[in-house]
Amino acid sequence: MRHNGKTALVTGAGRGIGKGCALELARQGADLLINDRPGSPDLSQTASEIRALGRKCTPIEADVFNRPGCEGLVAGSLEAVGQIDILVSNPSCNKRSTFLAYDPVDFERIIQGVLVSGFHLSQIVARHMVERGIRGKILFISSVHAPVPYANNCAYNAGKAGLNHLCRTVAVELARHHINVNAIEPGWIDTPGERTAFGDEVIETEGVKLPWGRIGTIEDVGRAASFLCSDEADYISGSILRVDGLIVFKDCAEEF
């Protein structure tokens, strides 16, 4: 049980990758603070699944796409449990469109959700960790869109690339406090959002064509997150871990 006695805050935990991270942290002994947007229909179900694992769970609705929402989330978390040992920062949104047609309002909104919100939340939590002398863990959920310029995703690509460099910079500055800061780059992961975007048929037929023979799962990402947030990863900071089943190299394999 890697995380006995630890409390983790996971944003975007109602479903998808955030939920996968929260559940795996709970399986490994952590108590959870889970967040999703106000009015989320999914947060209570995630909380029930965590409690079924025998762990404590406090769901907190908040809009983490802005500074006041992040401040309220952290204040509510500390009021509920007193301390945050682990942060999994997973706020995100996307809208696909060509560069020439991209709405500037949408571009700024997505940069705000993908990059700026990660800055706000990690800074507020890091200040708490430093003040308390907590040798904590901060984990950003990035994407393979950071290194790969997928078409029709200019805002999301730019935001995730910026998030990776934010991660490295924060890691350098927090090293003196022994706070580990890392990121995960998930590949194509089977989430409700991806099924809405592409449809069940595409997920099933195209997933098997990937180098690993399947699309990724939220459990794949959750297990990687649990490791990076554990004491086993004490000497790892400023790293970007790709969890993608080789999707970024899918055109590199020779024909055998």
Classify the phi-psi angles of 5: left when phi > 0, otherwise alpha if psi is within -120 to 50, otherwise beta. left
DSSP state of 237: -
Active-site residue flag, 102: no
DSSP state of 253: P
DSSP state of 171: H
Q: Of these residues, 102, 150, 156, 235, which one is catalytic?
A: 156
Give the count of beta carbons closer than 10 Å to the beta carbon of residue 218.
Answer: 22
Give the torsion sign (CA, 143, 225, 21, 65): negative
Cα distances (angstroms) measured from residue 124 to each of 42, 68, 73, 177: 25, 11, 10, 15
Give the count of beta carbons closer than 10 Å to the beta carbon of residue 219.
Answer: 15
Of the candidates 209, 247, 241, 199, which has an alpha carbon nearest to the alpha carbon of residue 222? 241
Catalytic residues: 156
